[in-house]
Amino acid sequence: MLSFKDFTRFFGSFLTDNDFQSFLSNTFSDLSDYNVSLSDYIVSGSAGIELGFTNNDAVYDDDTEVIFEKGNPVFSHFNLYPVSEMLVTDFPFNVAFKETRKDIITRIGQPTKTNQGYADFLNKDFLVDNYKVDDIIVTFDYDSAIGTVNFIQLRDNNLKHNLKL
C-alpha cells in the first residue's frame, strides 16, 4: 500500500529517469504507453490512477498525430479515482471518496479556489475545489449527481503551467 506522497516525491522526474521507471514497474502491471499526441497521461486502469506529464519540448501535429520530436516528459500531476483505494491508503487530508464537499470543507476549511459551471464537452455540470499545500495543489472534483468526491488530482504548482493556482 502506498501514500500519495510516494507519488509526489517523483514530481519533476523525467519519464526516462531510472528511479521513476523502477517505481512505475514495481507498482503497476498495466500502464499504458506515453503518447504526447494523444494525452498527457499514462494510465493504470486496475489501480485507478492517471499519471500526468508536462512535455514542453515535444513537437507534433494534432491533426495527423505525427510526432516530430518526442520531447522529455516530466512527471507533474496525477489523478486518483475510487478504485485507487486498493493501492493508495493515505489520501490528502485523509479524504475518502464517499465524503461530500460539505464534509471536506468542514474538516479542512475553505478551498483556495473553486471552479464551477457547465462543461459542454462533458455535457454536465462540474464543481472542483482547489487547495494549495506548499508547492502542491490538491483538487477535489465532485460528482454533481451525488455530491461525493469523483476524483482527486495532485499537481506540482511549479511544473504544470496551465494548471497553476
pLDDT of residue 70 exceeding 80, the answer is no
pLDDT at 160 over 90: no
Residue 165 in domain: no
Q: 165 falls in which pLDDT band (50, 70, 90)?
A: very low
Domain termination residue (choose one: 90, 123, 138): 90
- Residue 110 counted as domain residue: yes
Q: Tell me the pLDDT band of 58, cut-offs 50, 70 and 90.
A: low
Arithmetic mean of pLDDT, 48-62:
83
Q: What is the pLDDT of residues 130-151, one digit of tens each?
A: 999 889 999 999 988 888 999 9
> What is the Cα–Cα distance from 23 to 15, expressed in whole angstroms?
11
Cα–Cα distance between 106 and 102 in angstroms, integer?
6
Does one domain contain both 71 and 100? no
106 and 121 belong to one structural domain: yes
In a domain, 45, yes or no: yes
pTM of the model: 0.87
Residues 28 and 101 in one domain: no
Domain count, the chain: 2
User: Does 14 share its domain with 32?
Assistant: yes
> 41 and 100: one domain?
no
Within a 10 A sphere around the Cβ of 17, how many other Cβ atoms?
16
111 and 42 share a domain? no
Q: Summarize pLDDT for 81-137 with one digit per residue, the tens.
A: 999 999 998 999 999 999 999 999 999 999 999 998 888 877 888 899 999 988 999
